[in-house]
Structure 1
Amino acid sequence: MVELIVVLMLVGILGAIGASRFFERSSFDTAAYADQVRAMLRYAQKAAIARNTPVYVRFEDNRISLCHNEPQGACAAGALVANPGGFSAADDATRAACGGADWYCIGKPPNVAWNTAPTADWVKFDALGRPLVSGTAPGGVPGGLTLSISGGRDTATISVIEETGYVQ
């Protein structure tokens, strides 16, 4: 009988700790947003190679988007990279930050933040799929690019490998 009571107490304690993770939305937002950004970076690299033209990933205040021209001001309408799914306004944050457009843009959810190392406003994938970060010398990203996405107690890290542009 004592063993049963101890087991029930342990299950209750573990359940209370584990259940709190399921009710914190920022944990889910962080993981989902990191997966979306990872897919976007991979698509940008593959699109640059397939189209033999540079693709810029723009890190803006409330969104991350893809554009074909160098990020100086707004991306021209003819330079927007189309979303491979046809329409990107899937959630409230994306609709608010990107509008109802069919270009590849992901709005940042509330309670989620990101930072890049080295600090970058954009990363360009050239026609060979190699990354070049704003503010670095031509020829690559020394040490690669690391994008940290955090929200609540969780942090997701995305790495872009120098020279190859591989996203992991």
Structure 2
Amino acid sequence: MDNESDKEKLKKLLILLGIFLSPFLVSSFLGIESRKIENPNDTGLFYEEFENKGLKKENTRHRRLSIEDNSYPYSNNNDLSKKDVIDKLTTYAVILGRASGCGIDTQYESHRVGKWIDRQFPPGSAEHKTYLSIYISGTAFHAREQAMGNSPDTCQEVSRALARIHLP
């Protein structure tokens, strides 16, 4: 593969991740202008316009997990140490990145992790940008490695791990 196609694939992956994580950060990283609107049903967090057009719905695809979006109380960053947050982000990045590298749809899971990051750190803060970039770069790295065959896990093993992951 040439570097240009790798860059294009990485850019597409980041765009997909950005849809479900923190759109304003990823959009600015990629130089994409996006129109944001405030969701009146939430706590003031900003969402992309596509979510109000019905593309973001509850966990319709992942009924096997039996997890509702409101099933976990909001956290604050006093609940977890920075090391714990990095450990969780690394775990999510590895599993979701490898799943993406296998071609498995991880939109629901990525959305949940993005909401967790938003609950841990105020969107737009320096900590939010730092931890979100750790997650995004880790996910992109593991997706690329899985797609190139450099991962120790098969796609079947990744699929089983994804089904068992405890989402925030």
TM more than 0.5:
no
Normalised to the residue count of structure 1, the TM-score between the two structures is: 0.27
More relative contact order, 1 or 2 (CA 8 Å, 6+ apart): 2
Q: Which has the higher helix share?
A: 2
Q: Which has the larger radius of gyration?
A: 1
